[in-house]
Chains A and B, each alone.
Chain A
Amino acid sequence: MSSTPATPPKVNRIGLDLLPYRGSKTTLCAGCGHNAITERLIEAYWELGIEPWTVAKLSGIGCSSKTPAYFLQQAHGFNGVHGRAPTTATGALLANHTLRAVVVSGDGDTASIGMGHFVHMLRRNVPLVYIVENNGVYGLTKGQFSATADLGAKLKTGATNPLHAVDLCLLGIELGATFVARSFSGDKRQLSAILKAAIAHKGLAVIDVISPCVTFNDHEGSTKSYAYMKDHDEPLHEVDFIPSFADVEVEYEEGESRLVELYDGSKLLLHKLERDYDPSNRIHALEVLHEAARRGEVLTGIIYLDTSRPSFTEILNLCDEPLALLAEDRVRPSRETLELINEEFR
């Protein structure tokens, strides 16, 4: 069962065509993996029928971080400071916890300069979709190694990476993200299903998407190239997303597939491939990632999922209305209150 209809209707369930979901024309290189991810995001929001203006798009700096300009033109976007989108996104959600926030970042943006914020966003389980468009290099500054480049990977210049890679999914699971997935910009079907599930998820969804940089890291010797991914992509399962509004009877065979219900009533069907994989088992999730890394495989799919942990804005117990919109009488205590306080200091 695929969630992408064969011939998309002209309008989605809220009567909008694709235009409001598109953005300005991309200025990235032709063939850049990031562009494909942008396309999947456009489709995902459109297919889910989300009002574009309920979304806030945030990013850091990099080729990847430019992409929020290229989708959802009717949503506010904030292309901020290198590595620090977790902070602006957290702040925006504090101001208005009803926003659907999506952050697009790069591997340099997240795994180096922004690592501190990334880690603390994980701890807090900030309710947003966090996409790392991972190409193993700094695209925008012209091809230096990033911290996700694999040991022994080669730059175009011939330089070899002498250091171990940071695995963002391992970190995500270890430090508190409640939805951790890895995908490949070239895998339309899987990425699409994962993005929709991430949008439906209540807490923090981290998606590490291998997204080849055709200009600086798509050559022989790169472990983030299209060719390398073709040979080493190892899906954990086949992913189907069934939105809450879909009027379908979900049928599946016990033992062959797993059904996971998400917060908003939508469902995930994870179809067994080589093994029966339970994404709610944290220890096991860490194990399979380590194993795959040892084999030199790139494990993709929904690696970890916890639908129960409260998100950061829930922990803060904010009032129902967005803080940004509270009227004066809700946020300025009375004259009598100040008199009471003054008296305490007399």
Chain B
Amino acid sequence: MQASHQPPPMPAEQPQRFSSRERTVNDFSIQVATVNGSGSQTANLVLMRSIFQMGVPVSGKNLFPSNIQGLPTWFTIRASRHGYIARKKEIDFLVAMNPESAREDVLNLPAGAAVLYDEPLQLASLRSDLHFYAAPFDKLVAPACPEAKLRKLVRNMIYVGILAELLGIDSEEIRKALYKQFGERKKKAADLNWGAVQAGIEYARSSLVKSDPCFVERMDQNAGKLVIEGNTAAALGCMFAGVTVCTWYPITPSSSLAEALIAYMERFRRDPETGKATFAIVQAEDELASIGMAVGAGWAGARAMTCTSGPGISLMSEFVGLAYFAEIPVVLIDVQRVGPSTGLPTRTAQGDTLKNAVLSHGDTRHPILFPSSPEECFSMAVEAFDLAEQFQTPVFVNMDLDLGMNYWMSDPLPYPEKPMNRGKVLTAEDLERLGGFARYRDVDGDAVPYRTLPGTPHPKAAYFTRGTGHTETAAYSEKPEDWSANLDRIARKFQTLRAHLPPPVQSLAPGAKIGIVSAGTSRYAMEESRDQLSRDAGLEASWMRLTAYPFPPELEAFIEQHERVYVIDQNRDAQLLGLMRLDLPARLLEKLRSVRYYGGLPLDARTVTEQILAQEAQQA
């Protein structure tokens, strides 16, 4: 349907439900298709924020290419009065600004969707079952932005204005979002952009006739909430955890975590008067160096971390084994992306589950935390440092690109209530009192030994750290019994640690025959899929969201309670399920089923629902 100055005649093939002008309120996805590097991010965030400010649950996902400039990029905003913020497969409203992708984007839309497009693209003739709105962006931007060289930057704000008018977003909320986005210091730029928004609103009022069903109406779901990226929340978690050394090497999608950390630490952890810092952040020469520095720092007593993605983790393998065996605390935040190799560097996956649990050669096992939201990115970063120091071992935090680089509504980040746990570190006074210590002896029966830090001013403080076989007193040993006794103690330490991990989150459906287990961002598809299963198929499912590895004792009970348990994986080979196979008693294994998605996009509910229903149908 071509929007024009006159209301167009309704085509005969227009789907019935739209001709009845049914309103779809606060339940749709908007996709903005632009060219990478064209500066559309600000416009998209303003649009998303304004809906958020209207009290409507939203999420914002960037689907971008591995390219700096020129390739197509999409930003999807989902508004959901039900609070569903997973990716939704179907797009309800497309903003087509990119000549290159426009045709295909339009052809992929479901019938009844709406399209706002740049007039010269002439898309309206492609399909007759869509609502088309054309806007001459170049013409509109000229009066709004007299300075020609700035036009490219503000042009995108015009679609924000048009959408505001078509969807019924309060223009005051747009204005607020826009000025917040630009901040105090860029008021002039904000004014210019606000002019462009108004030009869009004006154009929509005078020249477009609303024919699609999507509307935004005020709700009250977002009071007190934030909009934040997971990487920013994780960086803040590290700062409030008291991190002192961070070493890193740039890699998408973890770079923005390190960069956010730098910005906040410069702001809050450097003395404004003396310029002296209570931290060191070093961009290393590669990931071998970043983990090596972090391990060296952890050894010498710093709260040390590195953040990276799959390729970096692969390089860190040898050092992580050393830190495990030599019992050195270090935190590794893995913002996972699609691999192997360079893979799809700007797409999301949970492909490092298995690798991180057993990284390195020989007998190793590493704890992993699985945050699913910005609040958890924050709180689990704090927990990771406590765990690492308390148990003198590498601790992984498995995020993913979806969580790290996309925009999430979040409860306020919670201030850490527990004091820092620095673990069993002996001081010179302790050594004086004790008359010495044995580095690898289990004194307390919890398998966690005591350590001293280099520089401790006492003749009995020193011990020799090595990756080779050692005795309780850290002396070199090749004796078989020394070797296995030490490994057994470290294994017991792993069991002690299990009781200190965050508990899983369970939602038991009364009488449910099936259960679902997920970790990390699969949460959002799960929340929606459970409702779909119940609503569409009358199938009730219990759900356990794992927050950590090693698996909690509750997991076994959960599997016992259900006939079949579906394990959600965002990887091809069912790694979470594979890890469960390694660790759980054999009698539980035959109950496990796999649901997998590995296309690189954030997991959507339909995919989960369909896979579960298909397997349930076979069961019947």
Residues of B within 8 A of A96 (CB): 300-302, 453-455
Q: Is B247 located at the chain interface by the 8 A CB criterion?
A: yes
Which residue of A73, A94, A119, A316 has the most chain B CB atoms within 10 A of its CB atom? A94
Residues of chain A in range 40-56 having any CB-CB distance to chain B below 8 Å: 51-54, 56
Closest to A69 in B: B464
Could you say which of B227, B278, B304 contacts A91, with CB atoms under 8 Å apart? B304
A92 to B208: give the CA distance in the assembly, Å: 65
Find out whether the CB atom of B277 lies under 8 angstroms from the CB atom of A87: no
Q: With A92-B300, A320-B276 given, is the CB distance from A338 to B293 under 8 Å?
A: no
Binary flags per residue of B284-303, CB closer than 8 Å to A gives 1, else 0: 11101101111111111111
Q: Is A333 located at the chain interface by the 8 A CB criterion?
A: yes
Quote the shortest CB–CB distance from A20 to chain B (angstroms): 6
Quote the shortest CB–CB distance from B236 to chain A (angstroms): 6
Q: Is A324 located at the chain interface by the 8 A CB criterion?
A: yes
Quote the shortest CB–CB distance from B181 to chain A (angstroms): 12
A76 to B303: give the CA distance in the assembly, Å: 19
Q: Is A310 located at the chain interface by the 8 A CB criterion?
A: no
Q: Is B415 located at the chain interface by the 8 A CB criterion?
A: yes
Find out whether the CB atom of B454 lies under 8 angstroms from the CB atom of A81: no
Could you say which of B226, B277, B461 contacts A342, with CB atoms under 8 Å apart? B226
Residues of A within 8 A of B318 (CB): 81
Residues of A within 8 A of B236 (CB): 338, 341
Please tell me the number of chain B residues within 8 Å of chain A, measured between CB atoms: 74
Find out whether the CB atom of B415 lies under 8 angstroms from the CB atom of A335: yes
Q: Is A99 located at the chain interface by the 8 A CB criterion?
A: yes
Quote the shortest CB–CB distance from B237 to chain A (angstroms): 10
Find out whether the CB atom of A341 lies under 8 angstroms from the CB atom of B301: no
Find out whether the CB atom of B245 lies under 8 angstroms from the CB atom of A91: yes
A92 to B247: give the CA distance in the assembly, Å: 12
Closest to B53 in A: A346
Quote the shortest CB–CB distance from B259 to chain A (angstroms): 16
Quote the shortest CB–CB distance from B471 to chain A (angstroms): 12
Residues of A within 8 A of B458 (CB): 53
Find out whether the CB atom of B299 lies under 8 angstroms from the CB atom of A88: yes
Closest to B228 in A: A345
Find out whether the CB atom of A87 lies under 8 angstroms from the CB atom of B413: no
A94 to B297: give the CA distance in the assembly, Å: 6
Residues of A within 8 A of B459 (CB): 20, 52-53, 74
Find out whether the CB atom of B462 lies under 8 angstroms from the CB atom of A81: no
Find out whether the CB atom of B292 lies under 8 angstroms from the CB atom of A81: yes
Residues of A within 8 A of B466 (CB): 69, 77-79
A342 to B274: give the CA distance in the assembly, Å: 27
Find out whether the CB atom of A91 lies under 8 angstroms from the CB atom of B301: no
Q: Is A168 located at the chain interface by the 8 A CB criterion?
A: no
Binary flags per residue of A314-339, CB closer than 8 Å to B gives 1, else 0: 00111110111110101111010111
Residues of B within 8 A of A84 (CB): 288-289, 292, 319
Find out whether the CB atom of B289 lies under 8 angstroms from the CB atom of A331: no
Could you say which of A75, A80, A87, A320 contacts B284, with CB atoms under 8 Å apart? A87
Residues of B within 8 A of A345 (CB): 226-228, 410
Q: Is A272 located at the chain interface by the 8 A CB criterion?
A: no
Q: Is A148 located at the chain interface by the 8 A CB criterion?
A: no
Quote the shortest CB–CB distance from B463 to chain A (angstroms): 7
17 A-B pairs whose Cβ atoms sit less than 8 Å apart in the complex: A76-B452, A77-B462, A78-B299, A79-B468, A84-B288, A87-B284, A87-B288, A87-B295, A92-B299, A92-B454, A116-B285, A116-B288, A117-B288, A322-B455, A331-B244, A333-B240, A345-B228
The 10 closest A-B pairs by CB, nearest first: A91-B296, A87-B292, A324-B301, A88-B296, A95-B302, A345-B226, A95-B300, A91-B293, A331-B242, A76-B454
